[in-house]
Amino acid sequence: MPFFSSRAKLFLWVFVAFLAAVSCSLFPASNSLSESDFNQVKWHPGHYISVGPTSDTADFLERNSEIITGNDVQGVLKKIYWGTLEPEMGEYDFSEIDRALAALEVNNKHLFLTVWDRSFVDGCSPGLPLPAYVYNRDGGRYWSTLSKSRNGCAAASWEPWVTDRFIALMQALGDRYDGVASFHGIASPESALGTVDEYDKSQYKEQFMRLFRETRQAFPHSLVLATLNYLSFDGMGHDVNLTDIANVAEELGGGISTPDSLLSRDTPFNPIAEQFKGRIAIAPMIDSSALDLNQDTPIALNQFNVERLGASFLFWSPWHRDQDRYLERTVMPGIQALVANPDQYPPLVQACPTALRCASAVDGDA
């Protein structure tokens, strides 16, 4: 069989390269993940301290060093505004997250993140809580008035283009942090938008679930939580059924959270957590602004969330409007007592939920 000439071989290689380029453009490689890839996630159950959107995490940890130097707390949940992370459309600033991770990882602690696309108490202007391009575009936001005359605004998350832009942010965050061992997971904005009733509930629910799916895709090795509260009101206190969202969390190997775990109020989250405990991750947030200092103690809240809801994670607010130094005087002593006395107080659930494949660290991250 004769050999090709040099010119013929050159032509052949150019032709093959051309076909490969055309093939890639017409049939791009899939970024979808197998079910087994989806379900292997970092798993560090425990108590976490929440850091608000107006506080720098690294500075907060420096002022409260017992959070990272002791063994009672696993890490922090950082709440951050969308506008902080995306000052210009498609241009991202993750510097605060980087500083937080640097402070946490040297002490073998972990970071959860929740990106807020709304503000209930900090006002509303271009850049806070939303990127200016979302705030300024018609239909990109709406005003929300809550109780006690607190005004704020939220992204019009029922609009597909708004969800598209939020998904783009999730993808950028996932590209940067999913492979970082100390980055544990990410929680969605809470499902409640406020008291305004001007949107299509079914459309909003559809976009909320789409966001969860795409966030799970962007974070294949991190724990992704859907934060459930009232999705919408019908005027009689009834709510859109949130079970479908928990079903998606089970399908994709994730979990659910809630912003307001209280003893004094039964929320839509509680029966869903009871139904799905042991199957998906249960990770309630303890929002101290609504807590009764006498009733909602760390000991009582832990017992409720563990025994009734099957919680593996608890995110504690460090602030209470009715008590100075709430973190120092109430939260940390409560957590220390819980961790030191597992025979006296029910410990957080350590077992991996059946819908997940858990790892203390993803292969290659440790």
Q: Tell me the domain boundaries of the chain.
A: 37-359
Record: fold of 37-359: TIM Barrel (3.20.20)
Coil, strand, or helix at residue 195? coil
Reported confidence tier of residue 18, pLDDT bands at 50, 70, 90:
very low
Report, as an integer, the average pLDDT of 124-131: 89
What is the token pair recorded at 145?
């008035």
Does residue 30 have a pLDDT over 80? no
- Quick: pLDDT tens for 310-342: 999 999 999 998 899 999 999 999 999 999 999
Report, as an integer, the average pLDDT of 48-64: 95
**C-alpha count within 13 angstroms, C-beta hemisphere, residue 312:** 22
- Quick: pLDDT tens for 175-229: 999 999 999 999 999 988 765 556 777 888 899 999 999 999 999 999 999 999 8
Residues 6+ away with beta carbon under 8 Å from 141: 124, 130, 134, 135, 153, 154, 155, 156
Coil, strand, or helix at residue 99? helix
In 3D space, the residue among 65, 79, 52, 57 whose CA is nearest the CA of residue 107 turns out to be 65
Reported confidence tier of residue 124, pLDDT bands at 50, 70, 90:
confident
CB 75 within 8 A of CB 41: no
Coil, strand, or helix at residue 27? coil
User: CA distances (Å), 353 to each of 114, 223, 320, in order?
Assistant: 22, 12, 32
pTM of the predicted model as reported, rounded to 2 decimal places = 0.85
pLDDT at 14: 38
Report, as an integer, the average pLDDT of 70-95: 97
Residues 6+ away with beta carbon under 8 Å from 212: 188, 224, 226, 245, 248, 249, 252, 254
Average pLDDT over all residues of the chain: 84
Position of tokens 């708004």?
A: 162
List residues bridging with 75 in a β-sheet: 48, 110
Mind giving me the DSSP string for 298-339? Answer: HHHHHHIIIIIT--SEEEE-S-BTTBTTHIIIIIHHHHHHHH
- Quick: pLDDT tens for 340-356: 999 999 999 999 999 99
Asked whether the CA dihedral 48, 53, 58, 60 is positive or negative, the reply is negative
Distance CA 198, CA 202 (A): 12
pLDDT at 197: 57
pLDDT at 151: 66
- Quick: pLDDT tens for 274-301: 999 999 999 999 987 778 888 999 999 9
CA angle in degrees (0–180, nearest 5) for 245-249-254: 145
